[in-house]
Amino acid sequence: MRRYSVPKKRGGKMVAFLVIAIVSIVIIGVVLFNIRIQSVQRPHGEFKLLSIREVFQHAFGEANVQISLFGSVKVTGNDEMNNSYTVVVSQDGTIFIHINGTIQPNVEDVYKEIYTRALYKILTSTPLSDYESSDPTSFLSYLNNIAMEYYKENEKDYLRITGSDKEGNILKISYAITKFGGKFKVTAEKLVINGKELNSNAMRVTLAKIYKKEIDKDLIEAIKNSFLKDFQNVSIGEVFSKLSNARWTIKDETKKVVELNGIEKIEESEVALTLGFRIDENGDTVIDYLLLNGEKIDEKAIIYYISYIYSKYGYADKEKDIAKFKDLILKSRLPNGLSTFQEFFDKHFSEVQWDMYYKPNSYEFVVSGKTRAKNTPVELRFISTPDGLYLAESVYGSEKAKSDIVINNVLNESLQVSQTNILSVVMNGKIVKYSPVQSNKVAFESFLKSPVWQYDSNADRVVLSGIGKYGSRDWNFKFVFETFFGKEPVLEYVYMDGTQAIDEVVDYVVSKVFRVETLGNNLSELVKNTIFTYKTYEEILGPVGWSIDRQYDRVVFSSSNLTVYFSVEPSGKVNVVQLFYKGQDMSTKTAEIVKLLEDGGSLESLEKKKTQQSQQPPQEEKEEQQPEAPQTGQF
């Protein structure tokens, strides 16, 4: 039998290779396609809410994507005017934008405009949060001359819509646009009318008008959940829902007025009460009107009735109300006009306390305390009404009396005690505690001739007058004392022949009166620091050798051959009264000598000059004698 061999086909291997190659190319192409498409599926820069492709889809309705596996990716869209916008994303992620084929130099600005357009399309197609049943484009029919602005705040995208309503008010609504689980959410977060930002309640009511939402429930709830300006601690609804048969209704939707009707007990009588609440242009809730049994209450009196109701239910802030009126009361003047109530209470009262009572048509303030003079209990009552603030019947001791009588009793009481007690406090006290002298009376009466102690009720001071010696002569002294809280005497002023003495002179006189020498040492410092013409006496004469002659009340400078005596007048004027050089009295040349020393000269040179002059022969014609340099009396 013959055997035949069948030859094998070589074409099968080639087919398999081609199939594998094609499949590989397809896979590589798909991978490259996915890589390239991802470049437009991600956000660009800070515009993170939408990818590049989503921006074009929302901005222009559709986006045509062209992908080059080894080149750029293009996304194209057309606006309503058929203008063509193309964004080109290169392999390194850089973007370029063409409009009608023309490349744009300001890429970021153009992309922001397209992004803003996309957010606007989302805003007008996504129902507003809390207003889902309303048309999202409602603001377009409510506002005129609309403008939009994109901004970013706290990593959140906002679109601000600006326009004017039919009354001409300028509204600015800030919409936050976010995305959760692929779905967009639009929330109105801020509403500004004519430059004033509305609070949450007013914004909710205004948005209800814009989006044509049923306003009744929202407006009433907005009013009930809001707060009156003077009562921020509790909502309106919490207080006024306590009225019997309280009924809330819309009175005027356009003016945002809600009316409350109820029954309230005022001063033992039941009263039909009608209140109109309104949201004003600032978004604050205010009271538009108040009726009691159908009778309208004056606008200025409304606050008193409202405060009475808040107080009745325990919501009034008494401390705040007292503080508000306290300053007004304290700055007011007494009926006699002599002082303010602040000065009156500080001077004549101790243990001062404030209280307040709410009345339907007034406030009553009670200031209580004890008089400083005799510890008499006193109550002064002030009444605040729409017509103003005035004093009412008050209490002195345990007796009621007119307020002016009570005030006069307090003043007289203080005056009587002042004239006796304050004199005693000053005379028996001691202004220099460490003095060996027993009291002010003993000290000053040993210094003065014919001393007279008096109390000056107008100035509330003790005045001591008499004749005392200072320096080379007698002076008319007047010592003025005040007391701290009526207990501690303090020397306030000293006058000598009507001139108020400076502190250094006062301290020196007091040091003599109370026999405490160290207290008067500043008199020497005053002289040392006094300027002659351009140098101080200390610079002229030196820092060493200064003392005080307490017998004649002189400041003395003394060195080996020079002695200078200074007097200090009450005004502080310093005089050189005597000058001795080597025991010789040269007081008539004090100005010349001190000037010589100030200019750096020496007394030896002056002495030598005089000797030379005395040795010269007399001249036939005498020169006209020049006047001696005048002594100014102050150096």
Cβ partners under 8 Å of residue 404, min gap 6 = 335, 391
Share of the chain above pLDDT 90, in %: 57
Q: What is the mean pLDDT of residues 377-386?
A: 93
Residue pLDDT, tens place only, 284-315: 889 999 999 999 999 999 999 999 999 999 99
Going by pLDDT thresholds of 50, 70 and 90, the confidence category of residue 629 is very low
Going by pLDDT thresholds of 50, 70 and 90, the confidence category of residue 233 is confident
DSSP codes of every residue in 54-92: HHHHHHHS--EEEE-TTS-EEEEEE-TT--EEEEEE-TT
What per-residue confidence (pLDDT) applies to 627? 37
Q: What is the mean pLDDT of residues 352-367?
A: 94
Query: What is the edge-to-edge ordering of all strands in the sheet holding 285-292?
Result: 244-252, 257-266, 269-279, 285-292, 295-296
Interstrand relation of 244-252 and 196-197 (parallel, antiparallel or unpaired)? unpaired
Measured CA distances, 295 to 274, 300, 426 (Å): 9, 15, 65
What per-residue confidence (pLDDT) applies to 221? 84
Query: Is the CA virtual torsion 100, 102, 105, 108 positive or negative?
Result: positive
Q: What is the mean pLDDT of residues 327-347?
A: 90
What per-residue confidence (pLDDT) applies to 450? 94
The two tokens of residue 53 are: 């492709």
Measured CA distances, 97 to 87, 109, 112, 319, 449 (Å): 4, 10, 12, 66, 107
Cβ–Cβ under 8 Å, residues 144 and 76:
no
What per-residue confidence (pLDDT) applies to 620? 46
| Helix, strand, coil fractions of the chain, as percent rounded to 5 | 35, 35, 30
Query: What is the edge-to-edge ordering of all strands in the sheet holding 499-500?
Result: 449-456, 461-470, 473-484, 488-496, 499-500
Name which of 10-24, 200-214, 246-260 the model is least confident about: 10-24
The two tokens of residue 202 are: 């007013």
Neighbours of 276 (CB within 10 A): 17
Q: How many residues does the chain have?
A: 635
Does residue 622 register a pLDDT over 90?
no
What per-residue confidence (pLDDT) applies to 630? 37
Report the distance separating Cα 427 and Cα 423, nearest Å. 6
Which one is predicted more confidently, 94 or 603? Answer: 94
Share of the chain above pLDDT 70, in %: 88
Going by pLDDT thresholds of 50, 70 and 90, the confidence category of residue 631 is very low
DSSP 128: B
Q: What is the mean pLDDT of residues 462-478?
A: 95
What per-residue confidence (pLDDT) applies to 216? 56
Going by pLDDT thresholds of 50, 70 and 90, the confidence category of residue 63 is confident
Q: Which of 453, 449, 452, 454 has its CA nearest to residue 470?
A: 449
Which one is predicted more confidently, 6 or 67? Answer: 67
Going by pLDDT thresholds of 50, 70 and 90, the confidence category of residue 24 is low
What per-residue confidence (pLDDT) applies to 27? 54
Residue pLDDT, tens place only, 97-120: 999 999 999 999 999 999 999 999
Report the distance separating Cα 399 and Cα 415, nearest Å. 21
What per-residue confidence (pLDDT) applies to 451? 96
Q: What is the mean pLDDT of the chain?
A: 86
What per-residue confidence (pLDDT) applies to 7? 52
Report the distance separating Cα 510 and Cα 518, nearest Å. 11
Does residue 161 register a pLDDT over 60?
yes
Residue with tokens 């977060």: 189
What per-residue confidence (pLDDT) applies to 222? 83
